[in-house]
Structure formats: structure tokens, C-alpha cells
């Protein structure tokens, strides 16, 4: 099966994920994903406390205080988890598990990029008719598109329901943009 343009478009981020994951290692790759989730949750949960602290202790008052508080908490958690991940990764190197860490990092990062590409394909084909993006013949001839496009349905079934509503709401507007 020859590689077509859609395979190349999908393959590029997957190869970048392999390289990036191998370079950073599993611990850093996993920590970056986990830290985004935890930092977002922590920013929402503790930004009120941070706002109070900035106001009471430092007399800091501005209309942007909630945003600044969120960002401070978000960044503090992000940096804290990153430093912890670096420490763990250093311990793995001492235990001579650096290569294992890199190989699993490459696989994890490639999967992460596959999920990102899959969600992008899912969103694009949910809003714009799939036939406008890829013809049935091209779809049949591609290898990666068929597999990667199914990934988001497998991982996030609720996504389909939400995007179906989005599609119905904005379908005409997106169609006008594509036709222009």
C-alpha cells in the first residue's frame, strides 16, 4: 500500500512524537501531560485562595486578579511537577534505566500525538463533511487515516455526542467558510 498525502500529514506529528518522546523520556512526557491536568484543576481550585493572599498580604488589587491568581497557581504546579519529574528521571539514569525510559517515552509521546491528530480529524470531519476533506478513494488508499481517525471514538465516546450537537449548530456557518 503506497503512502499518500494524508499518510504523510498524519505521519509527520507521529514521527515528531517519537523523536520528542525519546529525547525527553517517559517520565518527562507523562509528567507534562499529567501536570497540565493537575495544574488546570489546581488553578481553578486554588486561585481564590491565591487572590485573597495577594490582596491581604501584598495589597495587590486589579481587575485581572483572578486571571493572575490562576496563572500563578497554574505555573507553580506545572513547575513543581516538572522538577519532581526531573528528579525521578535522574534517579532512573542512576539506576541505568535511561534507555528504557527513552523507549517508553517515544512510544507514549507517539500515542499522545496520535490522539491529538485523531481528535483534530474527528473535529474536522464532524464539522465539515468528511467527503470534503478526503474522498472515499483516498480514504480507501490511506493506511494511517483509517486507524488514527478511529482512535478518538475509542478513547472519548462522549466526544461524538458533543460534536454532533456542535455540528448541527454550526454546520451552515462552517460550510459557508469552506465554500468562500
* pLDDT tens for each residue of 48-106: 899 899 999 888 887 788 888 989 999 999 999 999 999 998 888 888 888 888 999 99
If you search the block for the grid coordinates 490562576, which residue do you land on?
70
Nearest Cα to Cα of residue 56 among 65, 46, 43, 44: 65
The candidate with the shortest Cα–Cα distance to 171, out of 135, 139, 136, 124, is: 124
CA-to-CA separations, 40 to 28, 100, 109, in angstroms, rounded: 18, 30, 21
For the residues 160-173, what does the mean pLDDT come to?
60
- Stated pTM of the model: 0.67
Specify the higher pLDDT residue, 63 or 155.
63
N- to C-terminal Cα distance for the chain?
35
Render pLDDT for 122-146 as a digit per residue (tens, 0 to 9): 777 766 777 777 777 887 888 888 8
Q: Which helix (H) or strand (E) holds 135?
A: none
Amino acid at each position: 500500500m503506497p503512502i499518500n498525502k494524508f499518510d504523510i500529514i498524519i505521519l509527520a506529528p507521529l514521527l515528531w512524537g517519537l523523536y520528542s518522546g525519546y529525547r525527553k523520556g517517559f517520565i518527562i512526557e507523562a509528567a507534562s501531560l499529567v501536570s497540565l491536568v493537575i495544574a488546570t484543576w489546581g488553578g481553578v481550585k486554588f486561585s481564590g485562595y491565591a487572590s485573597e493572599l495577594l490582596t491581604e498580604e501584598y495589597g495587590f488589587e486589579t481587575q485581572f486578579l483572578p486571571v493572575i491568581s490562576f496563572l500563578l497557581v497554574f505555573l507553580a504546579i506545572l513547575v513543581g511537577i516538572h522538577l519532581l519529574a526531573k528528579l525521578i528521571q535522574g534517579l532512573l539514569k542512576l539506576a541505568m534505566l535511561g534507555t528504557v525510559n527513552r523507549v517508553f517515552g517515544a512510544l507514549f509521546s507517539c500515542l499522545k500525538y496520535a490522539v491529538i491528530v485523531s481528535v483534530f480529524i474527528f473535529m474536522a470531519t464532524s464539522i465539515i463533511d468528511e467527503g470534503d476533506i478526503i474522498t472515499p478513494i483516498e480514504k480507501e488508499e490511506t493506511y494511517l487515516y483509517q486507524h488514527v481517525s478511529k482512535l478518538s471514538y475509542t478513547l472519548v465516546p462522549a466526544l461524538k455526542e458533543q460534536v454532533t450537537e456542535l455540528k448541527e449548530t454550526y454546520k451552515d456557518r462552517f460550510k459557508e467558510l469552506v465554500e468562500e
